[in-house]
Amino acid sequence: MRSLNLFLVSLLLSSLASGVGGWCYDSMSPDCGPSTWPRDHPKCAGSGQSPIDILTKEAKPDPKLSDITFKGYIDPDKSLDWTLYNDGHSVQLILNGSITISGGMLPGTYKADHLHFHWGTDSSPGSEHTIDGMQFPMEMHIVHLNQNYHSKQEALKHPDGLAVVGIMFVESDSDAKDYNFIQYLKHVKNHNDKYTIKPFSLENMIPNDLSKSRVYYRYQGSLTTPTCNEAVIWTVYKEPIPLSKDQLNAFPKILHYNESSRIVSNFRSIQKLNGRTVNVFNSGSLLFRLNLLMCVVGIQALLLFN
């Protein structure tokens, strides 16, 4: 009996030490940080992992890539509910309703499941992907599931199961107006806190300004947290969203994983490319080609009518 009790106590202690869900970031404890993930989650030691450092000069332009079509982002169904959730590793906004992406050589339509963030501390950056070695203050992941699979569990078994859109944030001098999302963080301060919110326009969370040139990087990778399934078609936008220092700092300041400790530096370090190709789409080069065409047509018309 005594040894059983001891056994149960040691089991309890070891589960406490190993963080929420059995894994953590080094900022919480090196005992359950990323280098230990493969122990319980062998896929984390795979050869097609995320995040990666995106080398812009090595990225291959692919003329078959095109703009991603975002549907239901600007005008979500207000009769539904969304849930904000502190999962102990990050903050998730669990979406609801028909919000999808397609196009851009995605093999089908992908339905938005949730979005979450990766950040640093109030003085160090925390994006997961880096671009030419540069780490951004924060990165958002909008996680979408391939509609051809009937569940998330099923989608996680296929290389085209998930499409995740990565969007970077940079620090700017002024508050980004209408960045509604941050005001809700105080309602999910503690691990497992949930807060219901009415759907709002995600307009300022996606690259939707068609007058600007859009550049994104595309590669095949994985979830950046256990279980690290290599089931993700990644789309990482080059253009960051500007937020003020106060807006960025709200994440490491407010969100906790236990009563005394805040969620900070919740990013995985960059993984080896191992021969994978990173493709690049640039809407600007498309516009340039279109302008060139118009120009040639114009000159020919001039010659013809003179």
Ligand X SMILES: *[C@@H]1O[C@H](CO)[C@@H](O)[C@H](O)[C@H]1NC(C)=O
CA distances, 286 to each of 91, 117, 207, 270 (Å): 37, 31, 17, 31
Residue 203, Cβ neighbours under 10 Å: how many?
13
Peptide bond into 227 cis (omega under 30): yes
CB nearer to Zn ion: pick between 65 and 223? 223
String of contacts with Zn ion for each residue 125-144, x by CB under 5 A:
----------------x---
Q: Is 12 in the site for ligand X (CB under 6 A)?
A: no
Output DSSP code: residue 49.
Answer: -
256 as an active site residue: the answer is no
96 binds, among ligand X, Zn ion, none (CB under 5 to 8 A by kind): ligand X
Contact 27, 196 (CB under 8 A): no
Residue 289, Cβ neighbours under 10 Å: how many?
11
Output DSSP code: residue 63.
Answer: T
CB nearer to ligand X: pick between 190 and 291? 190
149 as an active site residue: the answer is yes
Q: How far is the CB of 221 from Zn ion (least distance, A)?
A: 11
Two tokens, residue 211: 């007058």
Query: What is the C-alpha separation between 172 and 225, in angstroms, rounded?
Result: 29
Of the residues 149, 216, 219, 257, only one is catalytic, namely 149
Q: Which of 258, 265, 279, 283 binds ligand X (CB under 6 A)?
A: 258
Q: How far is the CB of 145 from ligand X (least distance, A)?
A: 13
| Binding to ligand X in span 80-119, by CB under 6 A | 80-81, 83, 94, 96
- Among residues 39, 105, 121, the alpha carbon closest in space to that of 68 is found at 105
CB nearer to ligand X: pick between 19 and 48? 19
Contacts to ligand X by CB under 6 A = 28-29, 80-81, 83, 94, 96, 258-261
Question: Catalytic site residues?
Answer: 89, 149
Contacts to Zn ion by CB under 5 A = 141
